[in-house]
Amino acid sequence: MPAAHAGAVPVQVWSTTPDGSDKLTRIGDASFAAGTAPAAGALGIAVDATSRFQQVQGFGAAMTESSAHLIATLPAAVRTQLMTDLFDPNAGIGLSYLRQPIGSSDFAASAPFYSLDDNGTTADPGLSHFSVDRDSREILPMLRQAISVNRDIRVMGTPWSPPAWMKDSGSLSGGSLRPEYQDAYADYFVKFIQAYGQAGVTVTDVSPQNEPLFTTSYPSASMSPDQEASFIRVLDQHLTRAGLPTNILAYDHNWDRPDYPLNVFSQVGSIPRVIGAAFHCYAGDPEAQNQVIQAGKRVFFTECSGIDTGPTTFADTLKWQTEHLMIRAMRAGAETVMLWNLALDPNGGPTQSTCTNCRGVVTVSGGGYTRNAEYYVLGQVSRFVKRGAVRIGSTSGGPGAMQNVAFENPDGSRVLVVLNATSGAQQIAVNEGGESFGYTMPTGAVDTFVWPGTPTGGTGGGSGGGTALDRSGWTVSGSSSPSDPCCQGDVPSHAIDGNASTRWSTGTGQQPGQWFQVDLGKATTFAKLTLDSGASSGDYPRGYAVYASNDPSSWGTALATGTGTGSPVTVPLPTTTARYVRIVQTGQAGNWWSIHELNLYANAAC
């Protein structure tokens, strides 16, 4: 059972109401109290931090060419303020995940549609025409500016279509990838990731095809589960040869076909970099994601467009997106929630598609911008739930009722997001550890409750507890460091510098035999090791063996071995006195191995 709170614990309350009178407004504080009886008729919400689920990777939208164009054309001061509002973790809503079309989507700023290797229908298997010049005009500068505001931004790449010459249709619209161009298409992904990296944008994840079960008059392609699995095998080989740790997400389409990613996993699920499936919102129900979780894979929610429904748009969007995306999708295992366009104009453009009522997170017009309901849907969660947070247990109602989702941040603070989907005001009584607070929510409101707490431990929680050994005088080394220009500062000393925003990384996917070594300067007694991958939350070691010695040329048998399941990794050790410690990677993954902070403790129980 979680420990009771010590004294009256303050609870921040932040609210957005359907009439827009409150928009991510701090409207006062509540406080936990022991022995307080809930008001008559109050709905009880029990928060249980010992029930732990997925680790959160982030929230965001897509920097389509349309969005990048609109943002880039704003006056510089206005653009800076917009970037702050969107991405700053303190002064804004801290968006930290962006989905990037590889080539054209339907939301291109202008015709014609394009790929990154346009050569008509003439084959170019050597990719001699590959270029990101068009992206360099506005997309890449806007991505770099966003990253300058929030260094924790993670980027995913997704193609709407292979180049026309690779397809049986000979067009960016419709058709399928021709099997004989699988190698060329895999190289196309590699070149995209490398070109973006050289431009200052690290792509951590890709999916093989946007909406592979839908073809239309704008860039699109069909890809069956068998075709996707076949291509993933080739893509994995090319990414590995290029030394890229990029993850692969299967499917990237609607909730109504969870059988598709399950089919893909049955064929290529053993490839370490195939970490899970991506889902969209346009058909089916969020709970379908549970089938992927039950298959032992991860879920990323990657697309849902805002829609203009008329005078009630703000209220409609606030309710539907909060319920389906922020609550139900995350209760069904989603580690991310991404909307579609980051920015559109008042006409839902610029667009080359038939969607005339699509809306962005913000609307750009007349040299300024307006924050839409989508901004507040994201902000009620993204401003408070940090990367590395863990979804924790909470009792919730179903559709049309009081619904909620709860998280524990890496610092132990709790975040509870509640939607009042009932037809009237509703009293709630939130309980954790035998203490509770009460609150009355207006109908249709989304309220976020934030209170301090102690890290519970397990996936995503805490950093080891107790007092760590003094690291002054230590020196460290590693088997490798990144050659990628993005990350050449990931040197071993950053693992013990006391700065959680810096790190050491291998620079390549995890492989058995990689190592990290500590020279304590003198023989020192220790009984516990912690490895914290910080914001690089997926970079924990998949397997490890810990050695200690007074002679760095002779290590003997391992003090401890194990499998990492999340960050931080805490390793109890037999009480040992030694000068040198070496951690050897025994697992394998597409993720790099990163250490933001390494600590040793004298007492295993601390």
Cα–Cα distance, 442 to 17 (Å, whole number): 8
- pTM of the predicted protein model: 0.78
Record the tokens describing residue 44, joined without a space.
């009880």
Cα–Cα distance, 419 to 398 (Å, whole number): 11
| Domain identity same for 447 and 479 | no
- The CATH number that applies at residue 297 is 3.20.20.80
- Give the pLDDT band (50/70/90) at residue 500: confident
Number of domains in the chain: 3
Q: Is residue 462 part of a domain?
A: no
Q: Three-state SS across 324-345?
A: HHHHHHHHCCEEEEEEEECEEC
How far, in Å, are 2, 178, 406 from residue 563 at the CA level? 26, 40, 27
Q: Is residue 465 part of a domain?
A: no
**What φ, ψ does residue 324 adopt, rounded to 5°?**
-80, -35
Residue 537 has pLDDT above 90, yes or no: no
Mean pLDDT of all residues belonging to the chain: 92
CB 291 within 8 A of CB 258: yes
- Give the pLDDT band (50/70/90) at residue 591: confident
Whole-number pLDDT of residue 604: 62
Q: Is residue 457 part of a domain?
A: no
| Domain identity same for 40 and 99 | no
C-alpha torsion sign, points 26, 30, 31, 34 = negative
**Angle ∠(164,168,170) on CA atoms, nearest 5:** 35
| Domain identity same for 272 and 350 | yes
- The amino acid occupying position 213 is L
| Domain identity same for 132 and 17 | no
Q: Any long-range contacts for 83-87 (C-beta under 8 Å, 24+ apart)?
A: 83/145, 83/146, 83/149, 84/149, 85/362, 85/371, 85/375, 86/146, 86/149, 86/342, 86/361, 86/362, 86/375, 87/146, 87/149, 87/150, 87/153
| Domain identity same for 237 and 214 | yes
- Give the pLDDT band (50/70/90) at residue 1: very low
| Domain identity same for 357 and 504 | no
DSSP state letter for 119:
B
CB 380 within 8 A of CB 446: yes
| Domain identity same for 366 and 428 | no
Q: Is residue 22 part of a domain?
A: yes
Q: Is residue 353 part of a domain?
A: yes
| Domain identity same for 64 and 49 | no
How far, in Å, are 119, 182, 185, 187, 324 from residue 127 at the CA level? 9, 13, 9, 8, 41
3-class secondary-structure state, position 316: helix
Cα–Cα distance, 476 to 276 (Å, whole number): 34
3-class secondary-structure state, position 233: helix
Q: Dmax of the chain from CA atoms? A: 76
Q: Is residue 259 part of a domain?
A: yes
Q: In terms of residue numbers, what domain contains 23?
A: 10-54+392-451
Q: At what angle do helices 65-72 and 139-149 cross, to 10 degrees?
A: 70
Q: Where does 104-255 show beta strands of DSSP type E?
A: 154-159, 203-206, 247-254
Whole-number pLDDT of residue 312: 97
Q: Is residue 459 part of a domain?
A: no
Rounded mean pLDDT of 399-418? Answer: 93
| Domain identity same for 401 and 538 | no
Rounded mean pLDDT of 300-324? Answer: 97
| Domain identity same for 443 and 337 | no
Task: Tell me what percent of the chain is helix, strand and coil, each rounded to the nearest 5.
Answer: 20, 35, 45
β-strand partners of 524:
578
Rounded mean pLDDT of 301-308? Answer: 97
CB 198 within 8 A of CB 485: yes
| Domain identity same for 204 and 328 | yes
pLDDT per position as a tens digit, 94-152: 999 999 999 999 999 999 999 999 999 999 999 999 999 999 999 999 999 999 999 88
Q: Is residue 20 part of a domain?
A: yes
- The CATH number that applies at residue 504 is 2.60.120.260
| Domain identity same for 86 and 50 | no
pLDDT per position as a tens digit, 55-88: 999 999 999 999 999 999 999 999 999 999 999 9
Cα–Cα distance, 471 to 457 (Å, whole number): 23
- The CATH number that applies at residue 434 is 2.60.40.1180
